Amino acid sequence: MLLHIKNMVCDRCIMVVRQQLEHLDLQVSEISLGTALVYPDPSENKLTEIAASLRVLGFELIDKDKDKLIESIRNTIIEIIHHSDLVEHVTFSQVLTDRLHKDYNYLSRLFSESEDLTIEKFIIQQKVEKVKELLQYGELNLNEIAWKMGYSSSAHLSNQFKSITGLSPREFKSMKSNSRKSLDKV
């Protein structure tokens, strides 16, 4: 049975969910952001047990098709921005259409209605969180970060960063306590 799981945003989440499912005597044959293929097929009682044990860890089982699609949108964006080097070459609307086999206008409308946020704003929020991370590491300058994150210039990145955080990248970097958010809170 393919389980759809909300709030899986990183490799550590995958590891924790796998461990939890195996602890519940399920075999996990495949697992990725947002999904886990398990056997034997769990009964209704077992699904309730799985849902409760995942909820304690901050995850949720998803059973509605629209919720699954929204979570797939979120996971696709997070995967590209935080777990790949493809950001500078990506047209998110095309990637979402190709991966989810749905019209982008439909995906955009569904996401906006559910999340009270457009896909574009969600992408910007995710990019800003990744920029915060890269600024903290201090390995790249702002021009390199802008290029890596697919911005047309460091000025464009700075303007967007300031509009979201209220700080310039330089001000953020100089703070002793940086206010990064966990990905499932963005």
pLDDT digits (tens, 9 = 90+) for 9-52: 889 999 999 999 999 999 999 999 999 999 999 998 999 999 99
Alpha helices in 24-118 (DSSP H): 44-56, 65-83, 92-100, 104-115
Q: Is the pLDDT of residue 160 over 80?
A: yes
Show the tokens assigned to 95. 């990637």
Asked if 179 and 4 count as a contact pair (C-beta separation under 8 A), the reply is: no
Four-residue CA torsion sign, 103, 65, 76, 126: positive
CA nearest 33: which of 88, 67, 104, 83?
Answer: 83
Whether the model clears a pTM of 0.85, i.e. scores above it, the answer is no
